[in-house]
Chain A
Amino acid sequence: MALLIRPDLKEAALWRRWLNSKDFKAREELFELYTHLARSIARNEKRRRPNHGADGDDLLQLAFGGLLEAIDRFDPERGIPFSAYARMRMKGSISDGAAKFNEHAATHQFNRRNERLASITSNQNSPESKTNLQKLSDIVICLSIGLIADSVTKEVNSVVEEDHFTHPFIGSGWRDLQISVMEYMLELEDPAKTVLQRHYLDEVSFTQIADLMAVSKARVSQIHRHGLELIRKKLEGRKR
């Protein structure tokens, strides 16, 4: 089936569904289609302007913001290739954003970890029967799962950027755990799968995921926490 699909027609169908029906799933697929371009632009901009105070993650978020703007404003019938249009938007977004950064500015990384922590600690459904220690333990485990998922993304990206992957101190147990977390994440069902993949693999902030999925940021936070809890349960099951 995949062999029959013409990528140009497929992309046109996504644009049609987004423009004519405001189909957010199509918008999300368009975003995914051009994520690699955003990454590439963020990397190039990082090399080009090393001392502006923003780190690679910040630039990537700015590029993602520019990509979303580009998707929302693009008119495919004007004949300009989207990649060229989006490239301008993303570079513009990075230029505007980077100009506002300085050493004391709160970085995206801080915000991203903060919103993640808020998501995990705001569990309203935690059974009353659990002790505070058990609740704290749940929080720590969920945070750890997030950090493990983060570490995989960082390593994968470092392959592309720096061509080094294996750290001599990384043991096989840690690697197994990373693989399990990623496998369980990919096994999740939507919307948890989408939220966790976007956040940990694509490094997209909750705000941007909310925009992509047309839901509130609080809802994304809730889905994120639920997804981590499902992974935690699977990891616990694996130990038995």
Chain B
Amino acid sequence: MRETCDDQTMEELIGLLQANDERALDKLDSLVREFSTDPRLPFMKASLLVSTGNPIQAHYWFNKALELAPDFAIARFQFGLFQLTSGEPAQALETWGRLDLLPDGHYLRAFVDGLRCLIRDDFNGARRHLTIGMAANDENGPLNNDMALLMRQLDSLEHSSQNLSSPDDTSDEEVSQTSLLLQQLGIYGLPN
């Protein structure tokens, strides 16, 4: 059993997933078994499960990824976001706690601060922190797109009181959650 999946295999897997290839899930499951200590694979599986409507299993695999790599920052951020949108803000805050150890000015810290403001319905604070985070983030474009989308939805909500979670609210510019997470994996590679 090897420890980490090589980059080429990972890229092939990402290609299959992004193409919605039916072999992707089998391939992912096989790699999860083969590289059982590579945290990227359970994170990827969690992302896939969220997008295919199996959030219960997704929760397990998010946890698994963070058990393997507690400092896997993007997985920690996305797991917290998943918990928040699942109506578990206390758990989200707990998950994000470790991200406070990231260096000052790190965009994930700013994004978390923005989301913490949103939990308190502090829309202005949320906008301020999300804007700071987007300015600081020059390595993860998809995440910036997602935060920009969130800000636009906030603006829209403030004006129309429409439900942010409604699927009808999504625009063409939205990056699907799976696509977003997979692209981030491509950017980040292995966590420290």
Partner of A13, one of B55, B163, B164, B165: B55
The answer to whether the Cβ of A49 comes within 8 Å of any Cβ in the partner chain is no
The answer to whether the Cβ of A233 comes within 8 Å of any Cβ in the partner chain is no
User: Cβ of A13 and Cβ of B57 under 8 Å apart?
Assistant: no
Q: Give Cα distance in the complex from A77 to B53, angstroms.
A: 10
The residue in chain A whose Cβ has the minimal distance to the Cβ of B162 is A3
User: Cβ of A77 and Cβ of B82 under 8 Å apart?
Assistant: no
Q: How large is the interface on A (under 10, 10 to 19, 20 to 34, 35 or more residues)?
A: 10 to 19
The answer to whether the Cβ of A84 comes within 8 Å of any Cβ in the partner chain is no
User: Cβ of B165 and Cβ of A5 under 8 Å apart?
Assistant: yes
Tell me whether chain A's interface is mostly helix, strand or loop, or mixed: helix
User: Cβ of A3 and Cβ of B163 under 8 Å apart?
Assistant: yes
The residue in chain B whose Cβ has the minimal distance to the Cβ of A13 is B86
The answer to whether the Cβ of B56 comes within 8 Å of any Cβ in the partner chain is yes
Tell me whether chain B's interface is mostly helix, strand or loop, or mixed: helix
Q: Which of B118-167 contact A (CB under 8 A)?
A: 118-121, 157, 163-165
The answer to whether the Cβ of B84 comes within 8 Å of any Cβ in the partner chain is yes
* Closest Cβ–Cβ distance, residue A29 to chain B (whole Å): 9
Complex contacts, A12 vs chain B, CB 8 Å: 55-56, 86
Q: A1-B121, A3-B157 are in contact. Are A13 and B54 (CB under 8 A)?
A: no
The A/B interface has a contact count, at CB < 8 Å, of 52
Complex interface bits, B51-92 against A, C-beta within 8 A gives 1, otherwise 0: 001111101000000000000000000000011111111000
Complex contacts, B83 vs chain A, CB 8 Å: 13
Complex contacts, A13 vs chain B, CB 8 Å: 55, 59, 83, 86-88
Nearest 3 A/B pairs, CB to CB:
A10-B87, A12-B55, A13-B86
Pairs across A and B, CB under 8 Å, 29 listed: A1-B121, A3-B163, A4-B84, A4-B85, A4-B119, A4-B164, A4-B165, A5-B85, A5-B87, A5-B165, A6-B85, A6-B86, A7-B165, A8-B53, A8-B55, A9-B55, A9-B82, A9-B85, A10-B85, A10-B87, A12-B55, A12-B86, A13-B59, A13-B83, A13-B87, A13-B88, A76-B56, A77-B56, A77-B57
- Given contact pairs A5-B165, A13-B83, A16-B55, enumerate 20 new A-B contacts (beta carbons under 8 Å): A1-B119, A1-B120, A3-B163, A3-B164, A4-B85, A4-B118, A4-B119, A4-B164, A5-B86, A6-B165, A8-B53, A9-B55, A9-B85, A10-B87, A12-B56, A13-B55, A13-B87, A13-B88, A15-B56, A16-B59
